[in-house]
Structure 1
Amino acid sequence: MHMANHVPAVVTAFNIVEFLSKSEWKSSSMTQISEMLNLNKSTCFRVLKTLESLGYIKFDDLTKQYSLGYRFVVIGERAKQMNTYISAVSTILEKIAHPEITFVIVKRTSDNFLAYVAKQEPTLPIRLQFSGDMFPIPYGALGKCFLSYLPKDEQVSILEKQQINGVLPQYTTRTNTSLAQLQNELETIRSTGFAESDMEYIDTISSIACPILDENGEIILGLGAYILSHYKPLIDTDSVKKLLKSTAEEISEAIIGLEIY
């Protein structure tokens, strides 16, 4: 593993956590931890006390042993919920498998990217190549769809950060770099409930997207259909839109039921 950019104290903390997560070492003394992990005792003590103060490790005054703390109960429950959530949406996607279409679900990240959380490949041996696991709002059908459902102040903030000398970046020859045109398009997307992109972000992919909303009508996820451009003339886009809408509603109900956003 390349360690050049790693912070030693953070690596040590996670090594200790992983060590204490093993059943045979779930309660261990500082000496045991430092010796088994080949740590300097002073460093080990400081890291243990820091983790203890944050609630990630607890210390038993009677046995003088450390074990995982209460915060991992919260983290574990959240991880379990997230796995349930991903499993639920993946199961729903499986039901709409299509010969030529890749269906994806994306979630907004804290830095205004969209990250893929689930994907259903076509039933034919067609595989799309994505440039990474995330892409920036507001590009492609999913990016424009997500942006259109955000509050106006958030739209303005995101678009201001994307502009270079007053225009939006150009990813393909079909990318719309006009801010005014994009803003008009966002209004149309919001009124129709669908966004479309014809090779605007990736020059071999056309896409259609719709929002997955919570009970307040706010966007929580995006559902998209990716189509290789040379297959697009063979696809009934109206049927795809109907399928996306009904699937989005089903996913919305499933997520609201799990209370996971």
Structure 2
Amino acid sequence: MSFFTHLGTYLLMLKGMFTKPENWRMYWKELMHQSVEIGVGALPIVVIISLFLGAVTTVQTAYQLVSPLVPLATIAQIVRDSMILELSPTVLSIVLAGVVGSKIASELGNMRVSEQIDALEIMGINTKSYLVMPKILAALIVIPCLITISAVLGIWGGRTAGNMAGILAPDIFDVGLRQNLNLYNINFALYKSYTFAFIISSVSAYYGYNVKGGALEIGRASTSAVVVSCILILLADYGLAALLL
């Protein structure tokens, strides 16, 4: 399939989601189920990665700032801005593309191969709306929350690592943390979070929903979903930085 064929099918899938639900309670239950699956399932890896990202950033920043003219509090500013602007939104989204994206693609792919989607359509249910939309909405709700948690944990991990390594005391870190804080950086991180969440969920749903074949094709679809999501995340990261910063 060519790029334009993929794009047309993708847009048709998104367009087909916007219909009146047959049963609001059923759709709400599916949305809550997907939110729990995505959020709780990805939380442990988010916590581990965020803590070590903050810790490594603190240690490497201290290693590079060798001049005695640079205040130690500057380390905290660099860690704070690095976690908020880039590390938490982008690096974590790439990890979530593997964790969440592959799950969405394989789940929908398995339903397509086992003809569960066909059975739902015979029953008169709009499968694009019932299966795809709750996953995208859940990702738009949960992934920005995970990225916010990641930024907080990353900064705390950097503070703890700086204290344990004897690089800078917690009170000095706290001083730097409050200096020259630009609140727009937080808004920018949220813009990226929602954009990346939509990319991960919609691209993965597209590849899973349109699987043709058997179990082997499900694995290929999951791999393609992760690869394409990561590439689009990096492209969107550059585009948003060029436009909004």
Instruction: Compare the two structures and name the one with the higher strand fraction.
Output: 1
> Which one has the largest radius of gyration?
1
Q: Normalized against structure 1, the TM-score is what?
A: 0.29
Q: Normalized against structure 2, the TM-score is what?
A: 0.31
